[in-house]
Amino acid sequence: MVTMNDVAKRAGVSIATVSFVLSGAKPISAATRERVETAMRELGYRRNPVGAALARGRTNIIALLYPALQRPATGSVMGFFTSAAARAQELGRNLVLWPISNDAGEAAALANTGLVDGVLLMEVQLEDARVEALRPGTTPFALIGRTRDTAGLTFVDVDFEASMSEAVAALDGLGHRRIAFVTGNWGDLHLEDHGAAERSRACFRTEMARRGVRKPLIVPCAENSLDGRRLGRTLITEHPELTALVVMNEHAAPGIVMGLRDAGRRVPDDVSIISIGSSANMAGMADPPLSFMRTPGEELGRLGVDAIIERIENAGAEPPAVLLACEMQPGATLVRVRPGD
Amino acid sequence: MVTMNDVAKRAGVSIATVSFVLSGAKPISAATRERVETAMRELGYRRNPVGAALARGRTNIIALLYPALQRPATGSVMGFFTSAAARAQELGRNLVLWPISNDAGEAAALANTGLVDGVLLMEVQLEDARVEALRPGTTPFALIGRTRDTAGLTFVDVDFEASMSEAVAALDGLGHRRIAFVTGNWGDLHLEDHGAAERSRACFRTEMARRGVRKPLIVPCAENSLDGRRLGRTLITEHPELTALVVMNEHAAPGIVMGLRDAGRRVPDDVSIISIGSSANMAGMADPPLSFMRTPGEELGRLGVDAIIERIENAGAEPPAVLLACEMQPGATLVRVRPGD
DNA sequence: TTGAAAGCGATACCAA
DNA sequence: TTGGTATCGCTTTCAA
């Protein structure tokens, strides 16, 4: 491995000078800079980030912490990751996806070792032990998602309340009142711990109550098409009065449509469906293609990186907090309720 | 930050002793070990991996290089990543997903800075500049996939030939002869550069030729349901004689089924389908659920990690090379051809 | 069984 | 504008 020393020797300067050329921290005469750069080129020198990290206390690496070992990841994580990585690169940082157990200690351990400049936490729960473990440390962190109490925390999250309100309003505008809400079933987590689940359920209840429905139907479903199909069948059989479904479970949604059809209901003629928090590709897996509200995953990826970098560079400032609603996309599963229904 | 020095002082020993206790590299008396461990606990000490990496020349980090910026990732990457991460953890390593451009220099740069002990390359092309860039370096690397010439390389890959042969044999056994092959359309890459595509196409041709079909139909399709649907419609309209499809494009497959139905063909009564290299979840998105051959993604993740670690620890040995075929899974889209067809 | 000390590669302060 | 050098935190050799 070529070191700074090699470069310095070859250029006939001190390693301090080489370092200054590299970092631009001090003015260097054009002549010496030229000599140093030539030496670097000839030797194929690359700065060793480990040495630099030890000396500077910074690595330029941001870790996107994902509890992959507990919750095998879905495709939406990748969209997020991709845009976050691109944004980090634009800003001269490295963003890596770091699998981690949900064990609070592990996150704090990684953060406080100096291996990374900051961390982004995914799959945040309402009461999240990792957040409590990171708080006392000095390494900046930001959440993708939110805990219940967000005071003093940096986060970017989907605005589930706004999305849900818009979805219910859309159905309401088409005359639907008998609406069920199908949520996800977030792995081993207790549903109550999952922010997206709890916030959207609460909002669904509120919106329905405002429209005179006191105890609206809310059912969880595992996140895959087969369970979706099963659920679609039983749900409509047990609750034949339903005219519409709000689904927040993109992987189950296409199966649900099949299940309804299995049970003799047509979509959307008999039952309208709106899928909240979906990708276009998943919505297109259903027949007919689902009317859906797009998860702003890519936007959040970018914003999450901006937020953590802001935190790293400007620790004193007000912590950024961003909420972004899903955006309604056209589809073929939303129609006016039939008169008489 | 608590350092080894703090621990040493508190325990009344030298930092060398602390290091030995931590690494177990040298025998330490029970009494001293006890004192050191107590001090570590009381101070909440954690070894700084940056310092350790600099001293040892090893970081215990393995990078899974993914060209995320060129080719936004699909869900199957995550399955692979998850199992690889779990395996790495079992073996005391960290596996991180590192986005990288397909630019050869970038991969080599990362590898040769000492930041990672080894790299796993994903989305390998038949002629892959990254491989050539990594070859001369000293950092071990392994491929997920294969280049055309694999001499001296460590790799784990799907055995497309075996999988394709089995798929065609299955259709053949049911009397199908008029079979088309729908491949993926790997982003901006020229199809010819993609190993999976080329190997499976060649194998399809061979298998069909052996059965007396000289120029079998092979069509690419973008990897999403909407394009799949479009393709299904036009394909069967332009080639009404087809009785079966081999699909190697899990995201398009459910759409293809819809497209066939749009064109008035029933699946599987009129057209049988087998999806090669799919996950159960995607196969279940179709109605009826697809007969498919499962991508051994999780197995490959584990084996890939084993391979790169073997390479790191035992640089002299024969480079491991692993091929794993997809495994046939039951579904509802495979039936005997109708007499007369 | 333990300790002193020489690195690992780079940064940055203090002098010159 | 440049150089000498202490320093970051840990590993490991050599001596004791």
* A211-240 pLDDT, tens digit each: 999 999 999 999 899 999 999 999 999 999
Structural domain count of chain B: 3
Q: A216 and A122 share a domain?
A: no
From chain A residues 63-82, the ones with a CB under 8 A of any chain B CB are 63, 68-69, 72-75, 77-79, 81-82
Shortest-distance nucleotide from B56 CA to C1': D11
Spanning CA of A316 to C1' of C15, the rounded length in angstroms is: 34
pLDDT score of A103 more than 80? no
pLDDT score of A71 more than 90? no
Give B315 or B181, the one with higher predicted confidence: B181
Q: Is there a domain that residue B55 lies in?
A: no
Q: B104 and B226 share a domain?
A: no
The pLDDT-based confidence of B240 (bands split at 50, 70, 90) is: very high
Q: A167 and A290 share a domain?
A: yes
Q: Give the residue from A313, A321, A261 showing the smallest Cα distance to A287.
A: A261
- Answer with the one of B273, B295, B317 that is the final residue of a domain: B295
pLDDT value at residue B192: 59
% of chain A at pLDDT higher than 90: 76
Q: B149 and B186 share a domain?
A: no
Global model pTM greater than 0.75: yes
The pLDDT-based confidence of B210 (bands split at 50, 70, 90) is: very high
pLDDT score of B69 more than 80? no
Shortest-distance nucleotide from A54 CA to C1': D8
Alpha helices in chain A (DSSP H): 4-11, 15-23, 30-43, 49-56, 75-90, 104-111, 129-134, 160-173, 195-210, 225-238, 253-262, 280-283, 297-313
Strands A327-329 and A291-294: antiparallel
pLDDT score of A293 more than 70? yes
- Answer with the one of A295, A316, A333 that is the final residue of a domain: A295
**For the segment A114-156, what is each residue's pLDDT rounded down to a tens digit?**
889 999 999 888 999 999 999 988 899 999 999 999 999 999 9
Q: Is there a domain that residue B54 lies in?
A: no
Q: A195 and A258 share a domain?
A: yes
From chain A residues 277-296, the ones with a CB under 8 A of any chain B CB are 280-281, 284-285, 287, 289
**For the segment A188-205, what is each residue's pLDDT rounded down to a tens digit?**
555 557 788 889 999 999
pLDDT value at residue B197: 87
**What would the mean pLDDT of B166-173 be, rounded to a whole number?**
98
> Which residue is nearest to the C1' sugar atom of D1, using CA?
A28
pLDDT score of B73 more than 60? no
Q: Is there a domain that residue A76 lies in?
A: yes
Spanning CA of A28 to C1' of D1, the rounded length in angstroms is: 6
- Chain A residues lying within 8 Å of B50, measured CB to CB: 50, 53-54, 59, 113-115
- Nearest chain A residue to B261 by CA distance is A287
> What residue numbers bound the domain in which B262 lies?
160-295
Separation between Cα atoms, residue A17 and residue A9, nearest integer Å = 11
Full strand arrangement of the beta sheet holding B155-158 = A321-324, A155-158, A141-144, A118-121, A61-66, A94-99, B94-99, B61-66, B118-121, B141-144, B155-158, B321-324
Q: Is there a domain that residue A146 lies in?
A: yes
pLDDT score of B283 more than 90? yes
Most confident of A74-78, A262-266, A316-320: A262-266
Angle between helices B30-43 and B15-23 (to 10 degrees): 90
Average pLDDT score, chain A:
92
Q: How many residues does chain B have?
A: 341
The pLDDT-based confidence of B4 (bands split at 50, 70, 90) is: very high
Q: B291 and B301 share a domain?
A: no
pLDDT value at residue A187: 57
Separation between Cα atoms, residue A105 and residue A103, nearest integer Å = 6
Phi and psi at residue B249, to the nearest 5°: -175, 80
Q: Is there a domain that residue A339 lies in?
A: no
Q: B217 and B291 share a domain?
A: yes
Separation between Cα atoms, residue A3 and residue B112, nearest integer Å = 12
Q: B152 and B175 share a domain?
A: no
Q: A82 and A153 share a domain?
A: yes
Which residues contact residue B140 at a Cβ distance below 8 angstroms, ignoring those fewer than 6 apart?
B117, B118, B119, B154, B308, B311, B312, B315
Instruction: State whether residue A97 sits within 8 Å of chain B by CB.
Output: yes
The pLDDT-based confidence of B71 (bands split at 50, 70, 90) is: low
Q: Is there a domain that residue A53 lies in?
A: no
What residues form DSSP beta bridges with B219?
B182
- CB B57 under 7 Å to nucleic chain C: yes
- State how far residue A259 is from chain B, nearest Cα, in angstroms: 10
Q: Is there a domain that residue B56 lies in?
A: no
Q: Is there a domain that residue A309 lies in?
A: yes
pLDDT score of B16 more than 90? yes
pLDDT value at residue B188: 55
The CATH number linked to A17 is 1.10.260.40
Are the C-beta atoms of A318 and A153 separated by less than 8 Å? no
- CB B8 under 7 Å to nucleic chain D: no
pLDDT value at residue B113: 85
Q: B164 and B154 share a domain?
A: no
pLDDT value at residue A185: 80
The CATH number linked to A138 is 3.40.50.2300
pLDDT value at residue B301: 96
Listed range (A131-135, A336-340, B4-8, B87-91) with the worst mean pLDDT = A336-340
What residues form DSSP beta bridges with A61?
A94
% of chain B at pLDDT higher than 70: 96
Average pLDDT score, chain B:
92
Q: Give the residue from B234, B229, B263 showing the smallest Cα distance to B249.
A: B229
Partner-chain residue, chosen from B99, B114, B285, that has the shortest CB–CB distance to A85: B99
Most confident of A61-75, A103-117, A313-327, B158-172: B158-172
The pLDDT-based confidence of A112 (bands split at 50, 70, 90) is: confident
**What would the mean pLDDT of A262-285 be, rounded to a whole number?**
95
Q: What is the largest CA-CA distance in chain A?
A: 91
Separation between Cα atoms, residue A266 and residue A258, nearest integer Å = 9
pLDDT value at residue B189: 55
The end-to-end CA distance of chain A, in Å, is 76
Are the C-beta atoms of A61 and A85 separated by less than 8 Å? no
Q: B119 and B234 share a domain?
A: no
- State how far residue A65 is from chain B, nearest Cα, in angstroms: 10
**For the segment B284-301, what is each residue's pLDDT rounded down to a tens digit?**
999 999 999 999 999 999
pLDDT score of B187 more than 60? no
Q: A164 and A269 share a domain?
A: yes
